[in-house]
Copies of this chain bind each other. A is one copy, B any other.
Amino acid sequence: MPASNAIASVHSALERVRAERPLVHNITNFVVMNVTANALLALGASPVMAHAPEEVEELAALAGALVLNIGTLSGPWVGSMLLAGRAAAGRGVPVVLDPVGAGASRMRTRTTLDLLHEVRPAILRGNASEILAVAGALDAVDSARLEAIMAGAGATRGVDSAHSGRGVEEVARAVARAAGCVVVVSGAVDTVADARRTAFVSGGSELMTLVTGMGCTATALTGAFAAVVPDPFEAAVAGMAVMSAAGGAAAARSQGPGGMQAQFLDTLYTLDRADLEAQVRVEG
Contacts and interface: CB of A to CB of B under 8 A. Distances in A.
Given A42-B256, A73-B52, A37 B212 contact: yes
Q: How many chain copies?
A: 3
A62 interface: yes
Contacts of A50: 72, 101, 105
**How large, as a class, is the contact surface on chain A?**
35 or more
Q: Which of A41, A212, A261 has the most CB of B within 10 A?
A: A212
Interface in A4-44: 29-35, 37-38, 41-42
A48 B255 contact: no
Contacts of A75: 52, 54
Contacts of A30: 30, 33, 49
A162 interface: no
B257 A48 contact: no
A104 interface: yes
Q: Which of A35, A41, A52, A101 has the most CB of B within 10 A?
A: A52
A231 interface: no
Contacts of A255: 266, 270
Contacts of A252: none
A210 B269 contact: yes
25 contacts: A30-B30, A30-B49, A31-B37, A33-B72, A41-B212, A42-B256, A47-B212, A48-B104, A50-B72, A51-B72, A51-B74, A52-B73, A54-B106, A55-B107, A55-B108, A62-B104, A210-B269, A256-B266, A256-B269, A256-B270, A257-B269, A258-B261, A258-B266, A258-B269, A262-B262
Interface of A: 29-35, 37-38, 41-42, 47-52, 54-55, 58-59, 62, 71-76, 101, 104-108, 210-213, 254-259, 261-267, 269-270
Given A38-B211, A38-B261, 19 more contacts: A30-B30, A30-B33, A31-B37, A33-B72, A37-B213, A38-B212, A38-B257, A42-B210, A42-B256, A50-B72, A51-B74, A54-B75, A54-B105, A55-B105, A55-B108, A210-B269, A258-B261, A259-B266, A262-B262
